[in-house]
Amino acid sequence: MKINKIIFTLIILLTVSQNLFATSLDGTTNIVYKENHYIFEQSKANSAEGFVWLEGGFTIPEHTQLTLKINPPVSSGIDLRTTGTLTLESNLKLESNLSFSSSGFIKGNNNAIILNDDLTIPAAKNLEIIGNTIINGNGHNLILDNWAQILVDGGVTLTLKNITIKNVVNSIANPPIKLIDQYSQLALDEVTFVLNDDFAFPNGQLFIHNDVIFTGSSKFSYRSVLPSYITPHACLYFDIDTTFEYYPSSTRDDLIVLYDETSSVFLNGCTLQTTHTGIKLTKGRLFFDNKVTLSSAAKTVLDSLTLIDSKVIGEYVNSIGWSPDQHYISIGTQNPNSGQELQLYSFYNDTLTSYTSKQYGVDSPYLLTTKFSPNGKYLSIGGHTNNPRGDEEFQIYSFYNDTLSTNTIQSKDTAWWVAETAWSPDGENISIANYWPITAHNDIELYGFQNEILTTYTNRNFGDRVNTVDWRPNEKHIAFGSKNPTDTAELHIYSFINNTMSDAPVFKKDYGPGGSFIHGAEWNPDGQYLALGGYRPHSGLELQIYSLINDTLSTYTSKNYGTRIQSVSWSPDGQHLAIGGRNAGDELQIYSFKDNQLSASPIISQSWGYEIYSISWSPDGNYLAVGGQTPDSGKEFEIYKVNYRFDTTTPTLSNAIRFGNSSKGSSYNLNTYVLGGATIEIDGLVWSDDA
């Protein structure tokens, strides 16, 4: 009996202690009215339900969740304090030209945010949608101020309905609405876009319902490798002076799917622009009005590089990482002079400016890897601290509101060197390649990362030092590359399904004979090709490209580089591959990969000075960052502008603008309508392929 009383008392104490730190506004029996701005408690258990009037708006503190299930609308401002989470258990009505005053998270649980006035997201803030959410504009505007952004998390659908989207300043790398990975979805239903900047759609899927209209003088660039759908009775409409650019990071021409004969694309005084793929439209209806340009001649051929800035960093640069919005570049160094091994630069209007820095370790530590998370809110770093054993070689900083946290929010002792880290495409997992591990220590590590908590998922022992790791864009495979002392396979590819990595590699490949090293590995944007670079003594062919198609891993092609490759980097459109390392001149090389064919020789080749350790394309593909060791010039970091020119090669039927698909029969015909007074200007090859 006494034991039972103790247990009962403990339960009561635990319940009371939890409630002490929670705010519950219960309007189910009585009306709760908050006239002034209401600040919820710093807790994970806040709620408001029933007839709760938040007349003055509300604040959700940092790392706090609020669950709302209220009947009255919310007026005034909502402040999510960057890391607060608003969870909806019913529809939420917003009044009076309301704005979100900071960044934060919204988990809609398939409920709607209903606007009774315009809604503004302030400059440089972003809302991350982490659960299926509907925003019903009721005919009002959703306004994104300078560099503001809506992020849609992996596996999440954001539905925009009966709303006009307006932006002030964004960019291709920082679109007003960005899907985090290939499993994100954006559903548009009676939506009008009034855009001031080009809008890229690099990930996920798009679903068009009813009329969706693009207006202004900007470009909507479809770059995803997944199909998007114009549903029955829906119309994708491009207005005067707009451009619809079809530019996927693959060779597929059929990713804009008209679901049936009632689905439509309407081109009114605009341009339909394709690239190396061409485009194929079938089944539905295509309308032309006013002057429409159909063009397959785009600026997709890399012409030259222009150096726009360089920096003296320290001894040398080991790693470079771009933020997803392209406004920041992280640099990992060995920097014995300043002791600030992590360097962070801002990048605006072609101007590189020192932003902040951090000390990584003591006694000439090596910072070997710096990677921003896919949503740009975290920065993972790793290397060798040179501190006494037990210090944290793997570290994560937060980067909310463009501010690097003073201290790490998570760290791990990996016992020796972290050679590289890789975030999963949805940002919820991190894989680590360890370098020269101590006896019986795992050289492959995999962690979950949710709600800023690092959880050990699994470890593997590769058998020797692992130099590089990269996550396949479909999230189902992770590639690791290592040193090969005994003629065994140095490339291991593990499967990753339901947060579980396979016990053994599902694919293996020998990169080279004994003594070979893989230094760099990277999947191309559609995940069908994996580029490897490293050191192959006495055998050459340092650049190896493998294909992974239909669950078969094959050697696709290879090239000689010189001494050794340290870094490989695909352009965001998958059409170019940059490599850098140590060589007798021409350390920086760029190959074309148009139509999945590697050019016979580099299209760009130039000297760096000594050895390139890291090379990285910007998210929009217009810049190339290079870092390494240059004893003569002392400038260890350079950034180049990438110059493109029009592709003037004669198009073939396979990359033409094609209407219909005769190979599938008459049900795949496209009904084409040229309205009275319309004219069509053709630049390239247009083919009617109806059965």
Is pLDDT above 50 for 10?
A: no
| Token output for 288 | 């032309």
Instruction: Name the pLDDT band for 17 (thresholds 50, 70, 90).
Output: very low
Give Cβ neighbours of residue 439 (< 8 Å, ≥ 6 apart).
Answer: none
Is pLDDT above 90 for 15?
A: no
- Report the percent of the chain where pLDDT is more than 70: 93
Task: List the single range of 348-352, 395-399, 652-656 with lowest mean pLDDT.
Answer: 652-656
Give Cβ neighbours of residue 6 (< 8 Å, ≥ 6 apart).
Answer: none
Is pLDDT above 90 for 283?
A: yes
Q: What is the total residue count of the chain?
A: 691
What is residue 414's predicted lDDT score, i.e. its pLDDT?
A: 79
Give residue 300's identity as a one-letter amino acid code: T
Give Cβ neighbours of residue 327 (< 8 Å, ≥ 6 apart).
Answer: 147, 174, 346, 347, 348, 402
pLDDT digits (tens, 9 = 90+) for 466-490: 899 999 998 899 999 988 666 677 8
What is residue 336's predicted lDDT score, i.e. its pLDDT?
A: 56
Give Cβ neighbours of residue 343 (< 8 Å, ≥ 6 apart).
Answer: 313, 330, 331, 332, 333, 335, 354, 357
Residue 209 burial (10 A CB sphere; 0-12, 13-18, 19+): buried
Report the 10 Å Cβ neighbour count for 682: 12
What is residue 514's predicted lDDT score, i.e. its pLDDT?
A: 75
Please give the DSSP secondary-structure letter assigned to residue 662.
G
More confident residue, 14 or 270: 270
What is residue 110's predicted lDDT score, i.e. its pLDDT?
A: 98
Distances (CA, A) of 567 to 86, 116, 472, 473: 41, 52, 17, 19
Strands 65-70 and 235-238: unpaired
Task: List the single range of 109-123, 504-518, 603-617 with lowest mean pLDDT.
Answer: 504-518
Instruction: Say if pTM beats, i.e. exceeds, 0.85.
Output: yes
Give Cβ neighbours of residue 299 (< 8 Å, ≥ 6 apart).
Answer: 644, 645, 646, 647
What is the C-alpha to C-alpha distance for residues 602 and 552, in angstroms, rounded to an integer?
28
Mean pLDDT of 340-359: 93
Instruction: Name the pLDDT band for 1 (thresholds 50, 70, 90).
Output: very low
What is residue 539's predicted lDDT score, i.e. its pLDDT?
A: 79
Is pLDDT above 50 for 5?
A: no
What is the C-alpha to C-alpha distance for residues 87 and 73, in angstroms, rounded to an integer?
15
Highest-confidence range of 99-103, 307-311, 537-541, 646-650, by mean pLDDT?
307-311
More confident residue, 5 or 622: 622
Mean pLDDT of 559-574: 95
Q: Which CATH number fits domain 300-646: 2.130.10.10, 3.50.50.60, 1.10.150.530, 3.40.50.12160?
A: 2.130.10.10
Q: How far is CA 123 from the centre of its chain?
A: 21
Is pLDDT above 60 for 438?
A: no
Is pLDDT above 50 for 21?
A: no
Q: How far is CA 678 from the centre of its chain?
A: 39
Q: Is there a contact between 381 and 342 (Cβ–Cβ < 8 Å)?
A: yes
Report the 10 Å Cβ neighbour count for 456: 10
What is residue 440's predicted lDDT score, i.e. its pLDDT?
A: 54
Give residue 324's identity as a one-letter amino acid code: P
* Mean pLDDT across the chain: 90
What is the C-alpha to C-alpha distance for residues 539 and 510, in angstroms, rounded to an integer?
13
Q: Which element (helix H / strand E) includes 127?
A: strand 126-136
What is residue 495's predicted lDDT score, i.e. its pLDDT?
A: 95
